[in-house]
Amino acid sequence: MPIETPPSIISALEYCLKPIARLCIHFGIDHRNLSEMLKSAFVSVAKEEFKVNGKSQTDSRIALLTGVHRKDVRRLLGRAPEKTTGRQQGLVANLIAQWLGTPELLDVHGEPKPIPRNPHPDHNISFISLAEKLTNDIHPRALMDECINRGIIKLTDDGMVHLIAESLIPANDLDEKAHFFGQNIHDHISAAEYNLNGGQPPFLDRFVWHEGLTEADVKVIAATARKAAMNALKQINNQAIQHKQQQSEVNEPKFRIHFGTFFYSQLSQHDDSKEESSE
């Protein structure tokens, strides 16, 4: 018996798609390009998340679940994964989080203090030591150059490195903004979708909504919201850093979190290398 889709779900999806359509038109993506992306998303989700008794999906069942033609299913599953810059952006984000989550690197107002570029007897932490803690296969100098290039840090003549708090996501860095746009929207929709489907316990997904405000009112409230949000983000970031520093080998750290006006978590990695699609 076919599933009867509630009109409210269709209406909500149509509303959500409007800013996606606006973004596509702005960047020259027509409905055919978006349709191909949508086919790929349908096939990927059906393959990974709608298995029967844990068995690998067949092309035929994926076609049945998604309405995507079996020939397209086979083509999409055989396509090589596209390269992304997520790892590099993740490393920079981790550097910022580590800096903001280390109490001795913050002043009395909670703002980031400058640190020496190289190890220094008067400082327990340098940029080099901070970078080496995060990765072993990218040279600290390369990471520093990338951060300077993005406007995230600046190096002064006294050899001190300054974190530029107001430029953590540079306005002109479209690739980085696009990366975090995808991460943020994906996770927020995932949390909302889980709640909408009756998932328990539900994820945090809260908001404040008002009409009847003047432009001046909005500016004042926006400033208050930005300050409150930054305080909350710093608190959650600091707690996450503390937990990561206290980890033992007993509990393997497999989960990632995402906190904005919502909270979402999922397993960070999964291995599907042994699964294959068949006829």
Tens-level pLDDT at each residue, the chain (279 residues): 567 899 999 999 999 999 999 999 999 999 999 999 999 999 999 999 998 887 888 999 999 999 999 999 999 999 866 654 555 556 787 888 889 888 899 888 888 999 999 999 999 999 999 998 888 778 888 889 888 887 889 999 999 999 986 555 555 667 778 888 898 899 999 999 999 999 999 999 998 889 899 999 999 999 999 899 888 988 898 898 888 878 776 677 888 898 988 888 888 754 443 344 334
At residue 274, what are phi and psi to the nearest 5 degrees? -95, -5
Q: What is the pLDDT of residue 81?
A: 65
Q: What is the pLDDT of residue 279?
A: 41
| DSSP class of 109 | T
The answer to whether 159 and 127 are in contact (CB under 8 A) is no
The answer to whether 115 and 104 are in contact (CB under 8 A) is no
User: Is 59 exposed, middle or buried (CB count within 10 Å of its CB: 0-12, 13-18, 19+)?
Assistant: buried
pTM: 0.69
Q: What is the pLDDT of residue 151?
A: 81
Q: Where are the beta strands (DSSP E) in 122-192?
A: 153-155, 160-163
The answer to whether 225 and 166 are in contact (CB under 8 A) is no
